[in-house]
Chains A and B, each alone.
Chain A
Amino acid sequence: MEFLKNPSQPGPPEDGQIITTRFDKVLGWARKYSQFVYPFVTACCGMEYMSVASSHYDLDRFGTAFPRFSPRQSDVIWVVGTISHKLAPLLKRIYDQMTEPKWVIAIGACASCGGPYDNYATVQGIGTIIPVDIYVAGCPPRPEAIIEGVVKLQKMILESKQMWKVGAP
């Protein structure tokens, strides 16, 4: 203990000045409040995305207000709207380009399961192409439902095992 050897150092910390925790928790706590979102917006659910992303719903409360239109700079991809089979390879490529750790939220019935479109053109849920962490139900979901999805993802991030590395791999 340094302060015993050198009395000029400040004394021992007082009550409440030290919190013990796990590194995973701290990292998770930081990560859950700094999600850069890649908005993959394709259809009518996009209206609700615009609404939730605007100032009225104040996504900055959840640290998720900042859209990044580069997959390499984003942590979470919000898939908002109908995904056609023609678009599916591009969605997969963008997901692959995102750096770890990364998460996926499927917003709306279409992204979750194909929604009203059970036809030749539509992917029956993005879960068939990329792994999904949170599904938000609704056609379209209300902004509150999307925020609930964000909060659920925050909880999931906080509680999961964190990936981290120091220095070169």
Chain B
Amino acid sequence: MEKSPAHKKIDEKFPDAVLDAHAQHGDETLIIRKDAILDVAQLLKEDPELQFNFLMDLTAVDYIGRQPRFEIVYIFVSIPNSTRLRVKLQSDDLYPTVKSLTPLWETANFLERECYDLYGIRFDGHPNLTRIMLYEGFEGHPLRKDYPKKKRQPLIGPGAKSSHKH
């Protein structure tokens, strides 16, 4: 497969960063070494031709039973070029730690907090990595596939822990 412009640029600057690449229905995906994400994202954002200036989404997938178990997914959009690029990182740690993109995009702040809250991914360098959807005192990360389906942690009402204050 012909390398895309983004793939070529990353290969030029960080030769061992791209582990794999594929495209489907015109949407391109690059799988990147986990520790290279901040450099690669900076290149994608600041390169005068690529101009991926918008971090559209940041999430994770729990492929339980597979190795590596977790994938962290970034969707970058170039508004001037009308292109989008999916970048994935893979990790088999129970609590993967990746570098925060908050130095590049303010929006990464809330997206990473959500990802931390629901998947337990740690973001190194995030200014305030706390829960955003759920509440203080919530145990575990409910979008992980091993979170018990029937587990409830109400703040008040039946089943509430008395230690919760409100």
A binding-site residues for B, Cβ under 8 Å = 85-86, 88-89, 92-93, 119-121, 123, 128-129
Cα distance, A120 to B135, chains bound together (Å) = 12
A122 to chain B: closest residue by CB: B152
Query: Are A129 and B156 interface neighbours, CB within 8 A?
Result: yes
B binding-site residues for A, Cβ under 8 Å = 133-135, 142, 147, 149, 151-158, 166
Q: Is the interface of A mostly helix, strand, loop or mixed?
A: loop
Cα distance, A121 to B140, chains bound together (Å) = 13
Q: Collect the chain B residues with CB atoms within 8 Å of residue A89's CB.
A: 155-156, 166
Total cross-chain contacts (CB, 8 A): 34
B134 to chain A: closest residue by CB: A86
Query: Are B135 and A86 interface neighbours, CB within 8 A?
Result: yes
Q: Collect the chain B residues with CB atoms within 8 Å of residue A88's CB.
A: 154-157
Nearest first, the 8 closest Cβ-Cβ pairs linking A and B are: A89-B166, A120-B142, A128-B157, A129-B157, A86-B135, A85-B154, A89-B155, A89-B156
Cα distance, A121 to B154, chains bound together (Å) = 8
Query: Are A123 and B151 interface neighbours, CB within 8 A?
Result: no
Query: Are A120 and B147 interface neighbours, CB within 8 A?
Result: yes
Of B152, B157, B166, most buried by chain A (CB within 10 Å of CB) is: B157
A127 to chain B: closest residue by CB: B157
Residue of B152, B156, B158 near A120 (CB, 8 A) is B152
Cα distance, A89 to B164, chains bound together (Å) = 11
Cα distance, A86 to B152, chains bound together (Å) = 12
Cα distance, A129 to B151, chains bound together (Å) = 18
A–B complex contacts, Cβ < 8 Å, 24 sampled: A85-B152, A85-B154, A85-B155, A86-B134, A86-B135, A86-B155, A88-B154, A88-B155, A88-B156, A88-B157, A89-B155, A89-B156, A89-B166, A119-B149, A120-B151, A120-B152, A121-B133, A121-B134, A121-B142, A123-B154, A128-B157, A128-B158, A129-B156, A129-B157
